[in-house]
Amino acid sequence: MSSKYNGWTNYETWNFNLWITNEESDHNHALEIAEDSENKYELSKKLEEWAENMADEELPNQCSFIADMVNSSIKEVNFYEVAKHLWEDRTQRMKERSELWGEG
């Protein structure tokens, strides 16, 4: 039986991608992280750090059942898969900028 969810590795990966791309400000922040990354692997590590920081902000008391559940879910996210999709958005965004400024 496949554990895929809506075409993503799993629910956790799908959900993380949904949250960081659903709101324009979050999506722009994700693209800024992508633009500041050398490659998809580095981007995946930065996305993981972002997720962990969000959890820390939302759950400052890390000694609880809910914090354990959140941290467990973060460990299930396939950040590299999300990075691959963001990398495509990054590439498109950079291409559009280049065309806008007559560089392409």
pLDDT tens, residue by residue, 11-46: 999 999 999 999 999 999 999 999 999 999 999 999
User: Is residue 21 situated within a structural domain?
Assistant: yes
Q: What range defines the domain where residue 52 resides?
A: 11-100
User: Is residue 56 situated within a structural domain?
Assistant: yes
User: Is residue 52 situated within a structural domain?
Assistant: yes
The pTM of this model reads 0.86
User: Is residue 4 situated within a structural domain?
Assistant: no
Count the domains in the chain: 1
pLDDT tens, residue by residue, 42-74: 999 999 999 999 998 888 777 888 888 998 999
User: Is residue 36 situated within a structural domain?
Assistant: yes
CA–CA separation, 74 and 19 (whole Å): 13
